[in-house]
Each structure stands twice: as C-alpha cells, then as structure tokens.
Amino acid sequence: MSDRETTLEKLKLYQLWNMNCGFLGIQFGWGLQMANMSAIFEYLGANAYQLPLLWIAAPLTGLVVQPIVGNLSDYTWGPLGRRRPYILVGGILAFIGLILMPHCSALWMAAGLLWILDTSVNVSMVPFRAFVGDLLPKEQRTLGFAMQSLMVGIGAVSASALPWILSHIFSISNASTIANTIPLNIEISFYIGAAVFLITILWTVITTKEKPPKNLEKFEQLQEQRGGILSSVKETWLSLGKMPPTMQQLAWVQFFTWLGIFCFFLYFAPAVARNIFGAVSQDSNLYAEGVEWAGLCFALYNAICVGFSFLLPYLAERTSRQITHSFCLVCGGLSLISLLVIQNQYVLLLTTIGFGITWASALSMPYAMLVGSIPPQRQGIYQGIFNLFIVLPEIAVSLGFGWVMRNVLHEDRVLAVVLGGAFLLVAAALTLLVKTAPTTIESQSPAQSLSGLTSGDSQKVAVKLEAKIEN
C-alpha cells in the first residue's frame, strides 16, 4: 500500500469538490428521509405504534449492505474503476426511489420503497468513504474529510428545511387535501432531492478518475481470496468474540445512545405536529405546519452539530473524552425530556440546540474513545463491528417499540421522544464508567470530528480516525 501511496498526486480544490460532490446528494436524500418519512407514513394511515416496524429498513440495510458493499468494492475493478460502479448504481436506484415515494397511495408501497431507497443510498455512500484513502496522499486527507463534512452540512440542512421553504417562500400547498395523500410541498421536495442526488452522483462519476491497481494480477488473487461475502462474515464473527474491554464498555453506551436517537427520529415530527401545534389528525393544516416546523428543527440541529464539532477537541483536552461525551448526552437527554412542558414552537428550537450538541458528540467521541484500544492493523474490522451497536438498538426499537407505544405509552408521541431522552441520560451515566487507552482527541482536527448526519453515516467517523492513525 505504501508504494502505491507514493504515486498519488495532490488534487486541486476543484478536484476535491468533484470527488465529494455526490456526497452532497446522498446527504440531501438522507435529510429528506429522516425529516419526513414518519409524517409520510401517518399521511398514508399509519398508527403511532406501527411506525417503528415501518422504519426497520434503515438499520437492517445498514447492517447488511454496508459491510458487503465495502468489501466488494475493495476487490472490484472494471471500466468505471473500483468505487464508481457502486456509486452510480446506488445513485440511479435512489433517484427512482425518491421520484416514486410521493406517489405512494398505501403503506406497503411506502415501506417497500423505503427498503429500496435505504439500500440504494447505502450502496452509493459506502464507496465515498474509501475515496479519500484511494485518491488522496496522506497530507491531503484531512482536507478531503473536511470537504465531505461540508457536503454533509449543506445537504442535510437544506433538505430538512426544504418543505418549509417551498410552503412559506414559494406558497406551495402544505396540506393533504385528499385522504391518504402526501402534501404537494413534500412531493416537490422529493423530486428536487431526486434531481440533486442523481446530478451530483453523475458529476462525481464523470469528473473523478480512479487509478487501476499497480499489480493487477496480485489484485485479482486477493479478489479471489478475500472478495467473497462469506469470508467477510466469518472474520467478523471471529473478531466479535475478541472485543477489547474498552469496546465492550462503549457497546453499552452506544446501545442506549442509539435507542434514544432512534426514538427521536421516529416520533419527533409527529410529536411536534400533534402535541405542540395541536393537530388532531394528519389531514389538518396544523399537522402540515407542525411537520414543516419539525423540518426546521432538523435543519437547526444539523447546523448546530457542524458548529459544535469544532469545540469537541477543545472540551475533551480540558476535561476528558468521557466527561465531554457524557455532558453532551445529558444536553440532548434533558432537551428531549423538556418536551413534556413545552407548548411554544419557538421555545422548541432551544431544545433542538441541545440535541444538536448530542448529535455532534455521538458521531465522533465514541470513536475517539475506542480508537486507542484496538490494534491499528485491525481498525477496519473492529470499526465495522462497533457499528453493530448502532444498528442493533435500532432493530430492537423497530421490532419491539410498537408494543410499548400501544400498550404503555398509549400512542402518545411526545412520551416516546421523552423516553428517548431518558435513554440518553442512561448512556451519559455509562460513559463515565468507560476506561480508555491513552490516546489524544486533541490531536484530531475539527474537520475529522465532523461526521455524517444519519445513523447510516456513522462509519465515516471510523474511517476518518483510522486515516488519522495511519498518518
């Protein structure tokens, strides 16, 4: 690998933009999905207890698709190169899913398209993480990650706010005028998202060239030995039983953290519409206004996440990684619990700031605590395993929280968000019990603290930290 790196030339700024442009489209698609899918399901007649199971596509596709596509793209070479075939195929399929989603007239259609959309986005997203290591020399990788972080922020913030912008600035209807239909402003948002997704993906595929393996014959041998799905699954299973103590402790922190975060994603928008704006059904104007306002809250917490990420190394240097992460989790936990007493939409924005602080830390600090406890040569496999403790709690919520919602919380959506806040407080307490190896978060640049804005993006942090170790 080292002799190959000596042949890598520095890229100009426009070339860095070209190689990461498609990442903006991916985050735009994720942002639309996270802010609007629960509302879409309710527009199509879903009850509150059905939402978790309808969302199961997100964690399951991340669990299955990310490691498979990552491994396959490592050992692929063709006319389009190594990573670009997967980026292009995922982009085309995601474009189709985003175009069709607003035309769903039944729950089963929306749920099926969500599976297609999540799978497609994961197929496109995984190779982008490898682009920085593939194409950039060591001295440019921090800049490459910073460019990806910029794309993340632009895509997620603009997508989350888009339905509100279309309704309030361009006077496009935000109401569901016919039962079991999706409002026009959300429909157009998905069309715009589809166009942004495909255009940016095509731009990256067309303008970014990949270099073939230096020794193609040796590469083909490696492809035969390690390129299969079964070999990756076997290695993951064997490594799972050898997790370092720090990783075992952090697994519990991650489990409760992502229980809380997933409850937020599932129920925040419907809770705002019904409990803050007072909508009695999804067909009312108040419901549409509430969902739009929730989209603005999503945009705000994403923006806070980007800004606060620059403070994390400073805070960790002056306290510790455990104290910093625990503090950030407490901020989000108390913010979500405060929904019990909030009745004003503008006060709600303050609680969103607290969750943005949690989101920034959740996507970087656990990996900073983990990185010194695992062997450098095993970073990839252990970071992949660490991702299991994000998707497994999401799967648990998807399969079991519907019963809790129906029989314990009586379909009170705001109580579901509040319960998510309680999970974050548990995670904050567990964080203080974590014992880490003596590594330094302060040596990590602010750009490397930035990460993707959806649970499916969590492994990007792992790649960034692995690159930092390599450097």
- Binning pLDDT at 50, 70 and 90, where does residue 263 land? very high
- What pLDDT does residue 142 have? 59
pLDDT for 415-445, tens place per residue? Answer: 999 999 999 999 999 999 988 765 443 334 3
Query: Which pTM does this prediction carry?
Result: 0.75
**Tokens at 436, concatenated:** 């880490």
pLDDT for 61-104, tens place per residue? Answer: 877 777 677 667 776 777 887 788 889 999 999 999 999 999 88
pLDDT > 90 in the chain, percent: 31
pLDDT for 352-379, tens place per residue? Answer: 999 999 988 887 788 777 766 766 545 4
- Average pLDDT value over all residues in the chain: 80
pLDDT for 286-334, tens place per residue? Answer: 888 898 899 899 999 888 988 887 888 888 888 888 899 999 999 999 9
Nearest to 463 by CA among 386, 378, 372, 383: 383
pLDDT for 104-131, tens place per residue? Answer: 888 889 999 999 998 898 888 877 766 7
Ramachandran angles phi, psi of 81, nearest 5°: 100, -150
Burial class (CB in 10 A: 0-12, 13-18, 19+), 368: buried
What is the rounded distance in angstroms from the CA atom of residue 81 to the CA atom of residue 85?
7
**Tokens at 81, concatenated:** 């190169």
Three-class SS string for 335-376?
Answer: HHHHHHCCCCHHHHHHHHHHHHHHHHHHCCHHHHHHHHHCCH
Top mean pLDDT of 44-48, 172-176, 416-420 is at 416-420
- What pLDDT does residue 195 have? 96
Three-state secondary-structure class, residue 437: coil
Three-state secondary-structure class, residue 377: helix
User: What topology is assigned to 2-209+216-470 in CATH?
Assistant: Growth Hormone; Chain: A; (1.20.1250)
Domain locations in the chain as residue ranges: 2-209+216-470
Contact 188, 172 (CB under 8 A): yes
